Amino acid sequence: MNANDNAIVQTMKSLKFGIEIETVGRSPEALSRIVQSIVGGTSKLGRDDWGRTAYHVVDPRGREWKAVIDGSLSGGSYGSGEVVSPVLAYEDIEELQRIVRALREAGARSDSSCGIHVHVDGSSLDAKSIVNIVKYVHKQERLLLAEYCRPISTEFIERIEKRRPETRAQLSEAWYGRSNEVPCRYDTTRYHGLNLNSLFYRGTIEFRYFQSSSSFLHAGEIKSYVQLALALVAKGLTTKKTPSLKRRPFDLGTTRFDARVLSIRLGLIGPEFETVRYHLTKSMSGRNDRNGRGGPRRARGHVAPVQPDACVA
């Protein structure tokens, strides 16, 4: 790992994050009991900040987890729900995985109506860092896109290229296409894979690209989504030169290779990041390199292919 890789990893580990996990199969009340069985503390019925019925679990550290009714899920109000974490730190990922395993073992599962949304704290981001993140994600977006979310708006990309925003206010105007001093949670711009409405509304960059790849919740998969989102934000924070928007032609035949290169450029190398490399590439088709050879290209930061049994939930 070179100095830049190390800077990305150290930065990503310093960032705070939160996660929303949509599930079917268990009610919000049942989900709250499952969460409480892992984190401890107390539980009570109430409402969340947007008026939805929510079960609040306050752990011994005073952090509040919520299990919320979400009418958009296929299980209906009483057969589905969304688990919303408090603000978490990198070292909390292990506890998050224990919760995910407990949810799965209790019958909570995922279907096509469910998404996994990762929020990364944006308080340390200036306009330049945010633009770096947007451009870097835009270049790699075809490797990340889920079927149900929209890519970054072409109009937004054109506006930040034309004006080169230097403040958050200018960036906000580019995002909405107008002055918007009082953004609301349900602004229609929120449904993009990279959601900056969340940044202007509540101070977090939201990644909506993620969806469970099977009918069950996978703790390793969710860990990989958190690490990937943190690494993308850390890349924007540590990049000295603003990335270009030039994309090389997208080739389904090399997606596995391209994803491995992405993980190297994000500093996600070595045993600590086996899980994210595996889940990033497991469903991708194509060769391991651009030249058609079966083995991975020998490049800086090369790591051996990850085996599935090394990345169990």
More confident residue, 100 or 310: 100
CA distance 138 to 164: 16
92, 223 Cβ separation under 8 angstroms: no
Residue 92: DSSP 8-state: G
- 176-233 confidence digits (pLDDT tens): 999 999 999 889 999 999 999 999 999 999 999 998 777 789 999 999 999 999 999 9
Question: Which helix (H) or strand (E) element contains residue 237?
Answer: helix 219-238
pLDDT for res 49: 80
Q: What does 9-50 look like in DSSP terms, one character per residue?
A: HHHHHH--EEEEEEEESS-HHHHHHHHHHHH-SEEEEEE-TT
The pLDDT tens digits for 143-154 are 887 656 789 999
Share the mean pLDDT of the chain.
87
Both tokens assigned to 173: 């105007």
Q: For 257-296, what is each residue's pLDDT tens digit?
A: 888 889 999 999 999 999 999 988 887 766 655 554 444 3
What confidence score (pLDDT) does residue 287 get? 60
* pLDDT value at residue 10: 96
Least confident of 157-161, 212-216, 232-236: 212-216
C-alpha–C-alpha distance, residues 112 and 104, integer Å: 16
pLDDT above 90: percentage of residues in the chain: 64
Query: Could you read off the pLDDT of 39-57 as tens digits, one per residue?
Result: 999 999 998 887 888 999 9
> In the structure, what pLDDT confidence band is assigned to residue 311 with cuts at 50, 70 and 90?
very low
Question: Residue 299 has what pLDDT?
Answer: 34
Beta bridge partners of 67: 55, 83
